[in-house]
Amino acid sequence: MSDPQEYRDSPLRPYVLTGGRSRPTRNTLRVDTLLLANPDKPLPVSASRQERALLTMCTRLLSLAEAAAHLELPVSIVTILASDLVDSGHLQARSGIPAASSPDPSLLEEVLHGLRKLR
Amino acid sequence: MVSANSADRYLPHTVQQPVKILIVGAFGVGKTTLVGSVSEIRPLRTEETMTEAGAGVDSLAGLPEKRTTTVAMDFGRITLNERLVLYLFGAPGQRRFWNLWEGLAEGAVGVLVLVDTRRLEDSFEVLDQLELRGDTPFIVAVNRFPDTQHYSEQELRQAMDLLPETPIVECDARDRTEAMDALIALVQHATELSRARKVAS
Ligand SMILES: Nc1nc2c(ncn2[C@@H]2O[C@H](COP(=O)(O)OP(=O)(O)OP(=O)(O)O)[C@@H](O)[C@H]2O)c(=O)[nH]1
Ligand SMILES: [Mg+2]
């Protein structure tokens, strides 16, 4: 049996985790994208330990960055894992502002109002 | 660590829309402190891999020279109302981290540039880059450290060669209200720019 600590520190590990890919299948997921597991869709037995861990983490709503931090995995890896799980319908994504655009005035006013109320 | 506070780790299910603000500044300028002052969760830390900015081209092989590094990034969260949540990401501002924070700035409400008056020059690169980008609203927040000389706004503007339209605020990053006021000033600025842009189009 290999030492799990040693395994985790290996530079090859992230590559293995994501099935040899270094890019997510979709570009809509961002650090602030909110993730929520689909309770009606259990994972197949073939799912990886990391996919299971991510799905379990997202039983309730949180952002991709938070999931990465709690799982102690790099954001880039969680983005790839989450993309696959969104594609397969296991994970629901609530996205932020698309990269090419900026928030519209009414959304910004809502942010402003929220901050002022909490001040 | 994974099991700590898991009860209040999550967002209400009603939240539909995330927005983000970036806190950028030189080493030790108070980014993590500011995030911690306003965040409803203990600031979290993640790693982001990025390709080094300004990587040259290996002319012999004809392949772009790719160098990936890992950068630690702190962030916090403020739930603004039942459908809206704000994330605050702190990122280092130096040139070699541009790919990281420019990626984060995409789609962001805006960027808060945190500066320390004892090392103003450390913020020149990031300010240049933001002025050049043009599309991301930003303001300058001067983090007030004790034993630092006081400068007037005019002096600070001049020293940083700020554009006249770029707002500048002062704050103590350790103080929640002052840190909130800096965020409010940024969002206010972003709102005005966005309204002006809408009218113009
Ligand atoms: N007096 C004073 N001290 C501050 C203030 N903000 C930060 N500090 C202190 O300055 C030090 C650096 O602050 P950090 O928040 O870690 O700075 P940072 O920008 O996150 O630093 P790096 O992540 O290392 O680049 C800490 O010891 C803080 O307690 C401030 O407004 N006033
Ligand atoms: Mg920090």
Q: What is the pLDDT of residues A10-47, one digit of tens each?
A: 444 444 555 555 555 555 899 999 999 999 998 888 88
What is the distance in A from the centroid of ligand 1 to the CA of B111? 18
Q: What is the DSSP letter of B97?
A: G
Distance CA B27, CA B112 (A): 15
Query: Which residues of chain B does A107 touch, with a Cβ-Cβ cutoff of 8 Å?
Result: 17, 19
Contact B195 A105 (CB under 8 A): yes
For ligand 1, atom 29, which residue shows the shortest CA distance? B33
CA distance B80 to chain A (A): 5
Q: Which domain holds residue A47?
A: 5-117
Residues 6+ apart with CB under 8 A from B66: B51, B55
Please answer whether residues B105 and A30 qualify as being in contact, where contact means their C-beta atoms are separated by less than 8 angstroms. Answer: no
Residues 6+ apart with CB under 8 A from B6: none
Contact A62 B9 (CB under 8 A): yes
Instruction: Put residue B84 in one of left, alpha, beta given phi > 0 → left and psi -120 to 50 → alpha.
Output: beta
Domain assignment present for residue B1? The answer is no
Chain B residue with Cα closest to A92: B16
Residues having C-beta closer than 5 Å to ion ligand 2 = B 31-32
Contact B18 A34 (CB under 8 A): yes
Domain assignment present for residue B164? The answer is yes
Complex confidence, ipTM: 0.88
Contact A31 B84 (CB under 8 A): no
Q: Which domain holds residue B73?
A: 6-200
Closest atom, ligand 1, to C-alpha of B114: 19
Sign of CA dihedral B10, B11, B12, B14: negative
Output the pLDDT for position B7: 58
Domain assignment present for residue B119? The answer is yes
Quote the crossing angle between the two packed helices B176-200 and A105-118, to the nearest 10°: 160
Closest atom, ligand 1, to C-alpha of B36: 15
Total domains in chain B come to 1
Output the pLDDT for position A106: 95
Distance CA A115, CA B125 (A): 29
Q: For chain A, list residues whose CB is within 8 angstroms of any CB belonging to chain B.
A: 30-34, 36, 60-63, 65-66, 68-72, 74-76, 94-105, 107-116, 118-119
Total domains in chain A come to 1
Nearest ligand for residue B170 CA: 1
Q: Is the pLDDT of residue A2 over 80?
A: no
Task: Give, for all 201 residues of chain B, the pLDDT tens digit.
Answer: 444 455 579 999 999 999 999 999 998 999 999 999 999 999 999 988 776 655 444 444 555 556 677 888 899 999 999 999 999 999 998 888 888 888 888 899 999 999 999 999 989 989 999 999 888 999 999 998 887 888 999 999 999 999 999 999 999 999 999 999 999 999 999 999 999 988 887
Q: Looking at residue B131, which CATH number applies to its domain?
A: 3.40.50.300
Q: Which of B2, B133, B187, B198 to mutate to test the interface with A (most CBs of A within 10 A)?
A: B187
pLDDT, chain A, mean? 83
Residue entry with tokens 């950068």: B71
Please answer whether residues B41 and A62 qualify as being in contact, where contact means their C-beta atoms are separated by less than 8 angstroms. Answer: no
